């Protein structure tokens, strides 16, 4: 069976690899804070919900974990260690268990950096699974635990309406989904809904019966537009700066920054 990647793959921009000053590995302290802040919640969920008696777990001595959108580390290593500790605490005979961790990210992710940084004291077999989590990545009923932190807010593509060469007037001057422009927020929300459906359908096939999934991502309470948050205001400000830069029509920007709705503004 063939599981094709979506055509939007070419648009993908991976995290900066390696361990240099601008690398993801050196600039992901916020993601690390999220792993630490959610550690107890994940442990509690596992203590509450993991049931080794259900059919999906019967006779399985290999506990299979997938981290979807793992990037280059180090947060993923800490998260995987937390999960394994929680499983061991819950299992009656933890020494009988072996663990396999599937590190997933898009093809362009710097898997070399990830695998060169694997903790020497890890208690699991490590496997790379390149590909988009918006489609199937694993065989039927093979995963016991799926984890994804700070990755599912990545859309599979820029919504079609935003990419149109002849865009509607409402799109002008709005390159971010901050909620300032209702129509922009709506097309991004529709894309997110579609992507989440693809993600959930794929995982529904891949998880064993009784398996668990933890998804961590930032969200807003219903009715609060992004534009009212600090993050939204910051994005709005940087978006308007980019638009101003695109409009300055300076030679230095030509070819580098263009208004998202076409090249005319730069060429004029
Ligand atoms: C902000 S990083 C988070 C990495 C890691 N989970 C952490 O907490 O440090 C988001 C990651 O999701 C990956 N990603 C985005 N879309 C993806 C997709 N469709 N399939 C797999 N990985 C994806 C990106 O390549 C990136 O490495």
* Ranges of each domain in the chain: 16-222, 229-268
* pLDDT top residue among 248 and 90: 90
Q: Cβ(73) to ligand 1 under 6 A? A: no
Q: Whose CA is nearest to atom 14 of ligand 1?
A: 69
Q: What is the pLDDT of residues 60-69, one digit of tens each?
A: 789 999 999 9
Q: Cβ(72) to ligand 1 under 6 A? A: no
Residue 161: per-residue pLDDT: 79
Q: Cβ(174) to ligand 1 under 6 A? A: no
Share of the chain above pLDDT 90, in %: 54
Residue among 64, 128, 67 at smallest CA distance from 98: 64
Flag the least confident range among 2-6, 147-151, 153-157. Answer: 2-6
Q: Give φ, ψ of 245 to 5 degrees.
A: -65, -40
Query: Can you name the residues that pair with 143 across neighbouring β-strands?
Result: 207
Task: Assign 234 a pLDDT band (cuts: 50, 70, 90).
Answer: confident
Task: Assign 51 a pLDDT band (cuts: 50, 70, 90).
Answer: confident
- At the top level of CATH, the class of 16-222 is alpha beta
Q: Cβ(113) to ligand 1 under 6 A? A: no
Summarize the confidence of residues 100-107 as an average pLDDT.
97
The answer, yes or no, to whether residue 202 has pLDDT greater than 90, is: yes
Which of 3, 10, 106, 138, when mutated, tests ligand 1's pocket best, judged by the most ligand atoms within 8 Å of its CB?
106
Q: Cβ(208) to ligand 1 under 6 A? A: no
Residue among 224, 81, 227 at smallest CA distance from 147: 81
The answer, yes or no, to whether residue 176 has pLDDT greater than 70, is: no
Q: What is the pLDDT of residues 109-150, one digit of tens each?
A: 999 999 999 999 999 999 999 999 999 999 999 999 999 999
Q: Cβ(150) to ligand 1 under 6 A? A: yes
Q: Cβ(151) to ligand 1 under 6 A? A: yes
Which of 132, 153, 154, when mutated, tests ligand 1's pocket best, judged by the most ligand atoms within 8 Å of its CB?
154
Residue 258: per-residue pLDDT: 54
Q: Cβ(154) to ligand 1 under 6 A? A: yes
Residue among 253, 172, 259, 185 at smallest CA distance from 223: 185
Summarize the confidence of residues 157-174 as an average pLDDT.
68
Whole-model pTM: value is 0.86
Average pLDDT along the chain: 84
**67: which residues sit within 8 A by CB, 6+ positions away?**
76, 79, 80, 101, 102, 103, 104, 147, 148, 149
Residue 71 CA: which ligand 1 atom is closest? 27
**Cα distance between residue 59 and residue 268, in whole Å:** 69
């Amino acid at each position: 069976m063939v599981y094709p990647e979506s055509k939007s793959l070419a648009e993908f921009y991976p995290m900066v690899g390696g361990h240099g000053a601008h690398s993801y590995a050196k600039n992901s302290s916020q993601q690390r804070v999220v792993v630490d802040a959610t550690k107890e919640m994940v442990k509690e969920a596992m203590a509450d919900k993991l049931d080794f008696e259900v059919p999906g777990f019967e006779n399985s001595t290999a506990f299979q974990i997938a981290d979807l959108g793992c990037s280059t580390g180090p947060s993923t290593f800490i998260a995987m260690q937390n999960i394994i500790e929680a499983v061991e605490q819950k299992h009656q005979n933890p020494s009988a268990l072996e663990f396999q961790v599937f590190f997933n990210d898009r093809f362009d992710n710097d898997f070399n950096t990830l695998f060169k940084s694997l903790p020497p004291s890890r208690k699991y077999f490590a496997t790379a699974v390149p590909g988009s989590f918006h489609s199937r990545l694993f065989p039927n009923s093979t995963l016991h635990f799926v984890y994804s932190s700070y990755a599912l807010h990545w859309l599979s593509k820029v919504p079609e309406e935003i990419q149109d060469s002849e865009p509607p007037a409402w799109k002008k001057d709005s390159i971010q989904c901050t909620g300032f422009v209702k129509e922009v927020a709506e097309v991004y929300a529709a894309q997110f809904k579609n992507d989440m459906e693809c993600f959930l359908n794929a995982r529904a096939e891949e998880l064993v019966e009784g398996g668990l999934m933890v998804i961590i991502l930032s969200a807003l309470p219903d009715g609060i537009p992004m534009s009212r948050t600090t993050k939204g205001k910051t994005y709005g400000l940087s978006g308007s700066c980019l638009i101003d830069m695109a409009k300055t029509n300076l030679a230095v920007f030509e070819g580098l920054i263009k208004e998202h709705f076409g090249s005319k503004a730069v060429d004029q």
